[in-house]
Structure 1
Amino acid sequence: MVLLALGRRTNSSTSDTKESPVVKRKVLPVEYKAGDDFDFCSGASHSEGILQVFNEFRDCRLFTDVVISVQGREFPCHRAVLCACSSYFKAMFCNDHRESREMLVEINGIEAKAMEAFLNYVYTGRAKITTENVQFLFETSNLFQITTLRDACAKFLENQLDPCNCVGIQRFADAHALKQLASRCKNYALANFSEVSNHEEFLDLRIEELKDYIGREDLFVSKEEIVFEAVMKWVYHNVDQRRPMLNSLLQHVRLPLLHPNYFVQTVEGDELIQNAPECYQLLHEARRYHVLGNEMMSPRTRPRRY
């Protein structure tokens, strides 16, 4: 049995001294079933509602206690909200750093637009990721250690893979230790090599990167002529600096597998190759294979996996 105490406060009028208000209680006996406790939870709507109010406070500069300055643009914020979302800001404001005592905190190395998108995510849980802001937003969320937003940016980049950008996205992934994204980029470029080699990013590859592609067994090409033409296109793009690299690159091209007519007319007829004595051994190997066939074996006479 549970007793409910109901009543109202009254002031004593008979005493000469001023007394505190008292409560006259009326106890009502109520019977409840045992074990019927109710753990109420309003769900995510409760936290979302609070965040929405905090965001309104931010817009009105109400209760804001810090201003984040990025590229000269000021963003009023609540330290508590920033600390709750980001261990970066928690370390900044909760330890005895200079920023914990200052009203204006300047942050360098990020874009103001990315900071705006980042704060919208902090206060609403939503972010608009675009091709224009994805890299800046990734770097900002990575700096502030917001893994959910960082991973969303990485997923967005993965969905944007195209022959025209997979090389650049892979470089971005390598620079930020995004192993899964880098692997997806590499596999995409290997599977679409003939298209990738026709775009500007391909011509800007470092020689080590190019060798890594053309030296792979799983490079998907319908014929080896595609690999040869991609190498020559890369060399001719900056011929003065890349001429000395020609021989080391052709080591990874399977010249013996080229069609004999193509080999004679295009490869042996190329002026750059004609003036590169260091490549003659590779040409001789291809000629021998065209005459002897499978009787002559080398790493360059083995067809690629595809």
Structure 2
Amino acid sequence: MGVGRGQSVLYLAQVHHTKTMGRVNKAKVADDDQQVSFEATDHGDSVLAGLKYLREKQQLFDVTFIVEGQKFQAHRVVLASCSDYFRAMFTDGLVECQKDIISLNGVTAKGMKNLIDFAYSSKLFLDFDNVEDILLSANHVQMLPVLQACSDFLQQHLSIENCIDMLRLTDLLCIRKLKSDVLKFICSNWTRVFVTQEFSNKLTSSQLISILNSNLPMNCSETDVLESVVSWIMFDVHSRDQYFLPLIKLIQLENILRSSLSAMPNKTEFDDLLNAHPVFQKYFYNSCHDFQPYLVDSGLINNRGFSKALVCVGGFSPNGGMTNDLRFFSHETHTWKTLASIPHIKQCNFGLTVLNNEVFIIGGCFNDQIQEVVHQYGFKYNPEKDSWKSIAAMSLERCRFYLGAVGGKLYAIGGDPSASMDVSLESSPCECFHPEENKWTSIASLPGNRSQHAGVVFENALYISGGLQDADEEFFTSFYRYDPDSDSWTELAPMLSPRADHTMLVYRGHIYVVGGWHENANQQRIMVADLDRYDHVTNSWETLTTIPDPRLYASYTIMDQSVHVVGGWVNGNYQRKAQTVQTVDMETLVVTTQSVGKMEVWEHISCSLYIPHCKMIDS
């Protein structure tokens, strides 16, 4: 197979052992009668041991297989019990039913020996010298446990050197799950794979097309993908140039920066190939960009294999109570699907932000015997790797605070318990997280001690609005800008209405504020329905529209040109849990309600995130 060497691995079928040889059960049938049943708990082991003994003594064999000139004797009942292929051969009236000696094609002698050994022992020894023979043979006779063991072995031993050979093997045997794993490995290691000899001289055109068609994330830019395709063609240009156009059409041109082409090592060869297709040549260069807004938005080096999705994190629901789940809306299935779960005790009121397409979830609170416990711990989630990592804890415990990302750093602004308990403070303590150093440092405090405020990043600065001081029952209209370079706050024009538990968004060069509530003099909750816009040039606010049926404890997320309103209580009424997603078109200000993707949730956070496309379509 040429896929490397390694120590053999022993696979055991699961067998339950017990020292008890059997047990007697008494069941009352009538007053004077008793029925006694006996169950030998080691009966299965005894039968297997007996069959193995018969094989070793070469007794009662009733079939002989000829494979590659070698003879293999066995008991029909043993093979039929392990394989539907043999069961059909021996019981469905096939010609082999009448034969004592059967020539078996489609398997190898080495593979057949190991399959028969497994049938009698439940044990299988796998290494790189025998795994291909065993896999081929197990696939042919449909001995499923062996097929699974071989697939697991190969998946666990995938490497840069053998992945092309494994792709060939999965194509040959049509093993879909293993092929999917191999394709994911190849794509996630593309920059290392495409410089190997195996890539150049073993990868077929159909396999390369299959890789590009898989729409899996790759660990490189789309220009690097283009470079690898040209490299593959130039390795044998006389026979491979016929595949140039089909392959180039699979390059995602929207992810290529026009200026990056000049730095491509084989740019000259690429131009020579492209010159033979003048119509496509014009289309190619017209489709490349001087600026890549989609990559800026995602924070990825390549959006290949990713789909942008609306993600709902945490919150409460009527049936499940509090949850730590990250759920996303799949446009493929029109349903909410679970992406991951925060690796922490169930919590709420945490800070959330996205940096370079990783979700940071920090702080929050949870209940311990009805007592609210606030913590300072944090985690980050990578959707491509589907993995969590802990990050350094904040210096202060926080919940109901703002967490934002600007300039590659995270900023934690204000929040409880400080805002609710330490009324002597006239400002909100703030701190900054440095991802490369995995540490937090203090920054200038925000004027006004507050929680449940909103924040947004705009033009390399943080903007903070509103909130409340719970102990003083004070709701804020104040609006501030934080400059990370000077570590200073600047007070700006106040909002038109006091708001707590609201959201700020950025769209087409303006800041918007939506949602939230405050209290009147009688401590009655007033829902704020206005969608207001801030003009940073004139330092002024204006109301654009009123959103019908404003929601308490909802989330607001800008995606493309619409604001998506998820969950909450309609008009602040806890008995009216919103099930539908509202959308506000930011161009027309038209409000619509989606008829699909219903979900009751509140006190959650939502965001947009680029998720591997394969997760969108997984069942």
Residue pair 2:257, 2:291 contacting (<8 A) in 1 also: no
Aligned residues: 266
Instruction: Give the Cα separation in 2 of the matches to 1:84 and 1:33.
Output: 33
Residue pair 1:256, 1:285 contacting (<8 A) in 2 also: no
Q: Structure 2 matches for 1:1-306, cutoff 5 A?
A: 39-43=37-41, 45-203=42-200, 204-214=202-212, 218-251=216-249, 252=251, 254=253, 257=256, 260=259, 263=262, 266-268=265-267, 270-271=268-269, 273-274=271-272, 276-278=274-276, 282=281, 286=285, 293=291, 304-305=302-303
Residue pair 1:174, 1:182 contacting (<8 A) in 2 also: yes
State the AA in 1 paired with 2:120. Y
SS in 2 for 1:56: helix
Residue pair 2:275, 2:281 contacting (<8 A) in 1 also: no
Deviation at 1:49, TM superposition (A): 2.5
State the AA in 2 paired with 1:210. L
Residue pair 2:70, 2:109 contacting (<8 A) in 1 also: yes
State the AA in 2 paired with 1:176. L
Instruction: Give the Cα separation in 1 of the matches to 2:141 and 2:227.
Output: 45
Instruction: Give the Cα separation in 2 of the matches to 1:109 and 1:288.
Output: 49
Instruction: Give the Cα separation in 1 of the matches to 2:187 and 2:77.
Output: 47
User: For structure 1, which segment, 140-149 or 220-229, has the greater mean C-alpha deviation from structure 2 after superposition?
Assistant: 220-229
State the AA in 2 paired with 1:87. D
Deviation at 1:64, TM superposition (A): 1.6
Instruction: Give the Cα separation in 2 of the matches to 1:198 and 1:185.
Output: 17
Instruction: Give the Cα separation in 1 of the matches to 2:150 and 2:242.
Output: 40
Deviation at 1:284, TM superposition (A): 9.2
Deviation at 1:263, TM superposition (A): 0.7
What RMSD, in angstroms, separates the aligned Cα atoms of the two structures? 3.6
Instruction: Give the Cα separation in 1 of the matches to 2:102 and 2:129.
Output: 26
Residue pair 2:258, 2:285 contacting (<8 A) in 1 also: no
Deviations 1:211-230 (Å, cap 9, x if unpaired)?
A: 45446765423444432331
State the percentage of identical aligned residues.
22
Deviation at 1:247, TM superposition (A): 4.6
State the AA in 1 paired with 2:104. I
Deviation at 1:232, TM superposition (A): 2.4
Residue pair 1:256, 1:286 contacting (<8 A) in 2 also: no
State the AA in 1 paired with 2:100. M
Instruction: Give 1:8's aligned residue.
Output: none
Cα distance change, pair 63–222 in 1 and its aligned pair in 2 (3 A): closer
Deviations 1:231-263 (Å, cap 9, x if unpaired)?
A: 222012111112343355444265994684861
Residue pair 2:190, 2:220 contacting (<8 A) in 1 also: no
Residue pair 1:273, 1:279 contacting (<8 A) in 2 also: no
Instruction: Give the Cα separation in 1 of the matches to 2:36 and 2:198.
Output: 62
State the AA in 1 paired with 2:203. L
Q: Which has the larger radius of gyration?
A: 1
Cα distance change, pair 56–206 in 1 and its aligned pair in 2 (3 A): same
Deviation at 1:123, TM superposition (A): 0.6
State the AA in 2 paired with 1:273. D
Cα distance change, pair 222–278 in 1 and its aligned pair in 2 (3 A): same
Unpaired stretches in structure 1, ≥5 consecutive residues: 1-31, 296-301
The structure with higher relative contact order (CA 8 Å, sep 6+) is 1
Instruction: Give the Cα separation in 2 of the matches to 1:248 and 1:105.
Output: 47
Residue pair 1:255, 1:282 contacting (<8 A) in 2 also: no
State the AA in 1 paired with 2:181. R
Cα distance change, pair 258–69 in 1 and its aligned pair in 2 (3 A): same
SS in 2 for 1:47: helix
Deviation at 1:118, TM superposition (A): 0.4
User: For structure 1, which segment, 156-165 or 122-131, has the greater mean C-alpha deviation from structure 2 after superposition?
Assistant: 156-165
State the AA in 1 paired with 2:176. K
Cα distance change, pair 287–50 in 1 and its aligned pair in 2 (3 A): closer
Decide which structure has greater helix share: 1
State the AA in 1 paired with 2:124. A
Cα distance change, pair 233–119 in 1 and its aligned pair in 2 (3 A): same
Deviation at 1:115, TM superposition (A): 0.7
Cα distance change, pair 173–264 in 1 and its aligned pair in 2 (3 A): closer
Cα distance change, pair 124–224 in 1 and its aligned pair in 2 (3 A): same
Instruction: Give the Cα separation in 1 of the matches to 2:284 and 2:104.
Output: 60
Cα distance change, pair 169–266 in 1 and its aligned pair in 2 (3 A): closer
| TM-score, length-scaled by structure 1 | 0.71
Deviation at 1:274, TM superposition (A): 3.7
State the AA in 1 paired with 2:68. Q
Instruction: Give the Cα separation in 1 of the matches to 2:181 and 2:171.
Output: 12
SS in 1 for 2:124: coil
Deviations 1:110-161 (Å, cap 9, x if unpaired)?
A: 1111111000111111111222222221232233232122122122222122
| TM-score, length-scaled by structure 2 | 0.38
Cα distance change, pair 277–51 in 1 and its aligned pair in 2 (3 A): same
Instruction: Give the Cα separation in 1 of the matches to 2:236 and 2:47.
Output: 59
Deviations 1:85-105 (Å, cap 9, x if unpaired)?
A: 233223323344443333322
Cα distance change, pair 241–145 in 1 and its aligned pair in 2 (3 A): closer
User: For structure 1, which segment, 190-199 or 98-107, has the greater mean C-alpha deviation from structure 2 after superposition?
Assistant: 98-107
Deviations 1:22-75 (Å, cap 9, x if unpaired)?
A: xxxxxxxxxx996897654332x3222222222222122112222222112112
Instruction: Give the Cα separation in 2 of the matches to 1:166 and 1:100.
Output: 41
Residue pair 2:84, 2:142 contacting (<8 A) in 1 also: yes
Residue pair 1:48, 1:124 contacting (<8 A) in 2 also: no
Decide which structure has greater strand share: 2
Deviation at 1:199, TM superposition (A): 2.4
